[in-house]
Structure 1
Amino acid sequence: MYALAINGSPRKDGNTEYLLKATLAPIEKAGWETELIQVGGKEVRGCIACYKCFEKLDGQCAVKKDLFNEVMEKMTRANAIIMGSPTYFTDVSAELKAVIDRSGLVSLANDKLFCGKIGAAVVAVRRGGGIHVYDTINHMYLMSQMIVPGSNYWNLGFGLNKGEVSSDEEGLANMEQLGQAIVWLGNAITPHLDTYPSNGKNYE
């Protein structure tokens, strides 16, 4: 089993990264392969609506000059995808939005590549607006027929400056619970993935 965390924050060692690592910790402890990749601050352009992904059907975006297809390959392989973002004007970072838009479309074009995968959102917020970030990420998951686990509360951690989220005990406890829920869900659904419904086709 493989869990992929995608960091939409451009700040190295920032609060979003801290929360994602806290979520991955119980997953790694359970014996899963885990990986955290950085997209925030990297070159990831938005979707240009060329719809070439519906023509090529190769599981990739037709735009090859940025980081996206490398990320998409990992997302396709992952059993669980955890996207994390800071709160920028009540929404995700631009780089993460680009990943959401392009991966969601490529998945749809290629017979719903994300169908049956686990999807979780993690948000770093200073004061308000974090729920909208959470919703933005989960909307793509739900439209892709992914399975979204719950936790003790919204998957939010509060902090502004680097490291401040480490003082949010409730937020970190929630990340721990989220990681445990992902492991439980992965173990529960894996034997049944070949019966997961999508356009009448079975998935493995």
Structure 2
Amino acid sequence: MKVLLVNGSPHKQGCTNRALEEVASALDAEGIETQIFWIGAKPVGGCVACGGCATRGACVFNDSVNECRALAAGADGFVFGGPVHYAHAAGSLLGFMDRLFYSNGRADQPNAFRLKPAAAVVSARRGGTTAALDDIQKFFTISEMPIVASRYWNQVHGNTPSEVEQDAEGLWTMRQLGRNMAWMLKCLQAGKDAGVVPPEAEMGQRTNFIR
């Protein structure tokens, strides 16, 4: 089993990465393979609703989004992490996730996210963490992904990785998140081994409020 941890910070070795490393250490201790994927430092724009992914099976902008999409297909669980900017999740992370999840809908390709456990992690100097967590988790709920919780909100505080090291409760929360993720993955695998069949994906009708 493998968990892909996505670092949505412009700083590869910053506070968000330190939080993800703590989650990864707990997963590794439970025998779960981990990989941290950094989205990069360049600005990442959101989806432009061109519809190209419906025929290509990937985003038309060939950047870190498609790199992550290829890795996501082989992952069993996910942790998406990012910093708090202006009391919400960093814009580059949200733009990245817009395109990553929107380009995941081709009927002739396996869904990289459906029914796979996911968790959100955020880092902040002080405030805005719960709003940022809500930003990220909405991607999971629309994608039928079970959300993994910890013993507190999944947040760390500090301006630098060394300050995050002083956030003992935040790192404790990260470790428990990793253990809870490992437990859920093992339970899902036990269900598969016992012959439990995933729920059918109904092809429903999409509407808006005027039709």
TM-score using structure 2 length: 0.87
**Matched position secondary structure for 2:104:** helix
Q: Distance in 1 between matches of 2:61 and 2:200?
A: 27
**Matched position secondary structure for 1:124:** strand
Contact 1:152–1:174 at 8 Å: present in 2 too?
Answer: yes
Tell me the residue number matched to 1:195: 197
Q: Quick one: which amino acid aligns to residue 45 of structure 1? A: G
Tell me the residue number matched to 2:121: 122
Could you report, residue by residue, the CA deviation over 1:158-202 in whole angstroms, capped at 9, with x for unpaired residues? 11234211111111111000000000000001243562224249x
Q: Distance in 1 between matches of 2:112 and 2:28?
A: 24
TM-score using structure 1 length: 0.89
Tell me the residue number matched to 1:7: 7
Q: Quick one: which amino acid aligns to residue 178 of structure 1? A: L
Q: Distance in 2 between matches of 1:140 and 1:198?
A: 20
Tell me the residue number matched to 1:175: 174
Contact 1:53–1:62 at 8 Å: present in 2 too?
Answer: yes
Tell me the residue number matched to 2:38: 38
- Relative distance call for 1:37 and 1:22 in structure 2 (3 A) is same
Q: Distance in 2 between matches of 1:180 and 1:76?
A: 22
Q: Distance in 2 between matches of 1:47 and 1:109?
A: 16
State the shift of 1:28 in Å: 1.1
**Matched position secondary structure for 2:138:** helix
Query: What is the 5 A alignment of 1:83-162?
Result: 83-110=80-107, 112-162=111-161
How well do the aligned residues superpose, as a CA RMSD in angstroms?
A: 1.8
Structure ID, larger Rg:
2
Contact 2:72–2:112 at 8 Å: present in 1 too?
Answer: no
Number of equivalent positions = 198
Q: Which structure has more helix as a fraction of its residues?
A: 1
Could you report, residue by residue, the CA deviation over 1:105-124 in whole angstroms, capped at 9, with x for unpaired residues? 12234464311111110110
Query: What is the 5 A alignment of 1:23-34?
Result: 23-34=23-34
Q: Quick one: which amino acid aligns to residue 153 of structure 1? A: Y
Contact 2:12–2:40 at 8 Å: present in 1 too?
Answer: no
Q: Quick one: which amino acid aligns to residue 19 of structure 1? A: A
State the shift of 1:45 in Å: 3.2
Contact 1:40–1:95 at 8 Å: present in 2 too?
Answer: no
- Relative distance call for 1:105 and 1:192 in structure 2 (3 A) is farther
Could you report, residue by residue, the CA deviation over 1:98-144 in whole angstroms, capped at 9, with x for unpaired residues? 22101211223446431111111011011111111101111001110
**Matched position secondary structure for 2:60:** coil
Identity %: 31
Q: Distance in 2 between matches of 1:163 and 1:15?
A: 8
Say whether 1:74 aligns with 2:71: yes
Q: Quick one: which amino acid aligns to residue 42 of structure 1? A: K
